[in-house]
Amino acid sequence: MLQLDAEALYAELRSGVRLLLQPQTVLVGIWSGGAWLAERLQADLALPGQHGVISSTLHRDDFSSRGLSSGGDATQLPFAIEGRHIVLVDDVLYTGRTIRAVVNELFDFGRPASVQLAVLVDRGGRELPIGAAFSAARISLPATQRLSLVRGETGAFSFSLRRNANAADSAGAP
């Protein structure tokens, strides 16, 4: 059985994101696991201002079948995007479809100077030519399994690994 230490991987992610930072960099977490990571990174790296949260919902290529999924996943960017260096933060990179949707959403708000992706886990299985500038771990999982970040009541991270009953329908699901 796969054993991943989410807290140890978070420490790796924090170090990797620190290397990606440059003047005018802002963190934008992808709803929901990426948003949790960005929130904690913002505090742990003592970055000025606030982090942003971005949703892929409105730009997904499967929007017509999924619709507006869960509540509370609206994009919140408390800063101007134009000319900023953006570090997108996500928990698990899989097909690349969520990242494509998020980049489209991001450009609805302006044209950033650069966009880099930092992820906790890259699980392979790409359907689009999208890669992370930094990933704390690279693993291989079958399409029938879904890896999700879980945030406990104390804020500690762990992973949930479960069978993806309809893998073909939700291959790009966050």
Identify the pLDDT of residue 174: 43
Q: How many CA atoms lie within 13 A of 41 on its CB side?
A: 35
* Position 55 in a domain: yes
* Position 147 in a domain: yes
For residue 155, what are the domain limits?
A: 6-163
* Position 173 in a domain: no
Identify the pLDDT of residue 173: 45
Kindly list the averaged pLDDT for each block of 10 residues, start to end, along the chain of length 174.
89 98 96 96 97 89 54 82 98 96 96 98 96 97 95 97 69 44
How far is the C-alpha of 152 from the C-alpha of 23, rounded, in Å?
33
How far is the C-alpha of 88 from the C-alpha of 73, rounded, in Å?
16
Identify the pLDDT of residue 65: 52
* Position 174 in a domain: no
* Position 168 in a domain: no
Number of domains in the chain: 1
Residue 95 has which token pair? 């097909």
Identify the pLDDT of residue 58: 80
Q: Is the peptide bond before 114 cis (omega within 30 degrees of 0)?
A: no
Tell me which residue of 84, 162, 116, 110 sits closest to 18, measured CA to CA.
Answer: 116
Which CATH number fits the domain that encloses residue 154?
Answer: 3.40.50.2020
Identify the pLDDT of residue 164: 84
* Position 169 in a domain: no
